[in-house]
Structure 1
């Protein structure tokens, strides 16, 4: 798609990953989880995996990921979509995780393989990934159970 050659910079991370990493290993890994002769055509497994990879890279919720995919041309380029193509429904990601990634380690394995390939191609420069394990507030569950004030004792009548 020539339009992407004009609007996506050559040093864009997603462009580098797309041009240098062969994602065919995804199809091979997920082939057993697809029935090719029943029902309608599913969203290609490589595209769904790329959605999940984008979700991981940019720390987005399913809804935010799909919304950003509507207007971010680097996302559409990475997903092998034309600018005018419709994006998936966020529920497709949930169904994919539940039905196609029954083995919970499969997604981790696929992401690890992608990281390995990006290291080999020089897209990611470090061989170490540093993760901050400090306790932080979750952006997904802001409600906390009510608690009593420490050091206060309620006296009850005898």
Structure 2
């Protein structure tokens, strides 16, 4: 029997935490990050003024940086776009479903300002140390080919070389590649 097409409900009580499996590794990483942020809370209090426009909380910025690193998000703009629909990201940042994502340029400026402070280094070192002590990190070697290839020609100007030509004799070539 053919099922009917379901329409989206206009009211839902689902929380992002309900959609992230209990055994997902991000739950353990979130606990580590939250514990580290709790230790640094007094530093955040001293860094920020009690007056002025409210910004993005430093705890959220640092956890967002952790997500960007863990999930290899290429840019702040892409992260902010993904935050609109990714329930795992919303869970990690303690955001509700109806909370809007960040403005990408504001997010980038706030993130950069926070990363320049010493507190960011303390946060990341603390999370890595805790993860290592709990056996969440691997010492397995992982290599990705990052060879740079310089091309000074477009496809239209490409000329086929003769078979008897050897490799180019320049400083950019590497004999082992």
Decide which moves more: 74-83 or 108-117: 108-117
For the residue of structure 2 that corresponds to 1:84, the secondary structure is coil
TM-score, with structure 1 as normaliser: 0.70
TM-score, with structure 2 as normaliser: 0.63
The structural deviation recorded for 1:134 is 5.2
> Residue 57 of structure 2 is aligned with which of 40, 44, 64?
44
> Residue 8 of structure 1 is aligned with which of 6, 20, 39?
20
1:30–1:11 CA distance, 2 compared to 1 (3 A): same
Asked if structure 2 preserves the Cα contact closer than 8 Å seen for 1:69 and 1:87, the reply is yes
The structural deviation recorded for 1:10 is 0.8
Match of 1:154 in 2: none
1:32–1:11 CA distance, 2 compared to 1 (3 A): same
1:36–1:72 CA distance, 2 compared to 1 (3 A): same
Alignment size in residue pairs: 142
1:92–1:74 CA distance, 2 compared to 1 (3 A): same
Asked if structure 1 preserves the Cα contact closer than 8 Å seen for 2:64 and 2:93, the reply is yes
| Cα RMSD, aligned residues only | 3.2
The structural deviation recorded for 1:26 is 4.2
Gaps of 5+ in 2: 1-12, 154-166, 170-177
Asked if structure 2 preserves the Cα contact closer than 8 Å seen for 1:62 and 1:90, the reply is yes
CA distance in 1: counterparts of 2:111 and 2:59, whole angstroms: 13
The structural deviation recorded for 1:84 is 1.3
CA distance in 2: counterparts of 1:27 and 1:129, whole angstroms: 34
Alignment of 1:135-150 (within 5 A): 135-137=146-148, 146=152, 150=168
